[in-house]
Amino acid sequence: MPEPKVEETPIRVGIVDDQRLFLDGISALLNTCKEVAVCCLAQSGDDAVAKFKEDCPEILLLDLSMPDRDGLEVLQQLQEEFPALRVIMLTVHDDFSSIQDCMQHGAMGYVLKINGKDELLRAIEEVHQGRKYLDPKVIDILLTPPRSGAQANSSKGAQGQGPGILTQREKELLQLLAEGKTSEVIASELFISVNTVDTHRKNIISKLGAKNITDAVRIAISRGLL
């Protein structure tokens, strides 16, 4: 007689994101996968710590932009409180420095929110096996680090962007702002929080050396960024 098949225990996953709609959506999506079971949802670092003391997940999906403390600070706290926890950053931030900072501070994975269910599930399974995971877009970003020194200064005048460059997400958001859409509307369309939209707005203004978002749109259009 063949031995009975032993069913694998689902990977227990927690999610921390300040946007309730996103939490509910990702939770529902992952719960359709037999490989994982969402056991905990939290909207802040403090909320996560309190809940994890009762029921700590094996894998955590963590946003980088949150209103009380940023995800990097939350990442460090959770690692101190729960050393066995493996963290995957799930975020809209696709800039080199954010990726590098998170991975250097102990994140096991970095996945952008533009990805679908299959990519996220692959990341969870890889990290659960003890391997680090970066989605293909993140790998491309890390293989093309930001220029510095004389090289950055020489490109600054041509690009007209101040320190750094606009990320693809920032360009997308700036285009929506140029169309006159509010932060609330943009947050809904891009499935991110209003706080994340506002963070992008500040970054765009800073990178373009603009006075405000209207000035940023003008500068971007004049330099062919939109």
Q: Which domain holds residue 82?
A: 11-142
pLDDT per residue over 36-66, tens digit each?
999 999 998 889 889 998 889 999 999 988 7
Q: Is pLDDT of 184 > 80?
A: yes
Task: Return the residue matching tokens 């999506």.
Answer: 29
Claim to verify: residue 127 and residue 169 sit in the same structural domain:
no
Task: Return the residue matching tokens 């460059």.
Answer: 165
Claim to verify: residue 115 and residue 180 sit in the same structural domain:
no
Entry pTM = 0.65
CATH code of 33's domain: 3.40.50.2300
The confidence score (pLDDT) of residue 209 equals: 81
Number of domains in the chain: 2
Claim to verify: residue 201 and residue 101 sit in the same structural domain:
no
Query: Does 3 reside within a domain?
Result: no
Mean predicted confidence (pLDDT) in 59-82: 86
Residue 19 contacts residue 193 (beta carbons within 8 Å):
yes
Claim to verify: residue 117 and residue 160 sit in the same structural domain:
no
Most confident of 20-34, 67-81, 147-161, 171-185: 20-34
Residue 143 contacts residue 121 (beta carbons within 8 Å):
no
Mean predicted confidence (pLDDT) in 65-85: 85
For 154, the token pair is 């020489």
Burial 57-83 (b: 16+ CB within 10 A, else e): bbbbbbbbbbeeebbbebbeebbeebe
Please say which residue of 118, 142, 166 terminates a domain.
142
Query: Does 46 reside within a domain?
Result: yes
